[in-house]
Amino acid sequence: MGVMKPYIISEDARAQAAFYTEALGGEIVSLSTHGDLMGAQNEFKDKVMHMCLSVAGENYIFMADSMEPLIQGNGVALTIAYHTESEAYEAFSKLAAGGSVGHPIEKQPFGIYYGDLVDKFGIKWMITAEPKADLG
């Protein structure tokens, strides 16, 4: 069995990673530039070739700087399921800063809390939580 990890190509991977680790909690686990890994000594030497960040617990996102003009698509969304409503609301609020809310997070007819948004970097997020009392 494999493990899927999202890989985001970014116009500014460092800024985007800083936003996600602040909004979702986490840290940059590793960061390598084209200069570090390939010995590049050109205009790409400081661009991120590979970055790994942990967010919202034991979740990992890989990132890299784009080497060509970036075209934002709408065919992919990242989703995080939280254990408590308060965690979901907090993450949703932070991710929505500077972005646009598609559906506010609220209890859905199918039983869970759900909301979606596009963050300020053009990434669509779906945030969910099971309806139960927060324990902490």
Tell whether the model's pLDDT for residue 56 goes beyond 50. yes
Per residue in 21-55, pLDDT tens?
999 999 999 999 989 988 888 888 999 999 999 99
Return the pLDDT at 2: 59
**What whole-number distance in Å separates Cα of residue 10 and Cα of residue 20?**
13
Percentage helix, strand, coil for the chain under 3-state DSSP, each rounded to 5: 20, 40, 40
Domains of the chain: 7-65 (3.30.720), 77-129 (3.10.180.10)
Q: Report the share of the chain in percent with pLDDT over 70.
A: 96
Q: Which residue has the higher pLDDT, 43 or 3?
A: 43
Return the pLDDT at 135: 47
- Residue listed under structure tokens 């790994």: 52
* pTM summary value: 0.84
Of the candidates 27, 22, 135, the residue with the CA atom closest to the CA atom of residue 86: 135
Three-state DSSP at 115 gives strand
Per residue in 79-135, pLDDT tens?
999 999 999 999 999 999 999 999 999 999 888 999 999 999 999 999 999 887 444
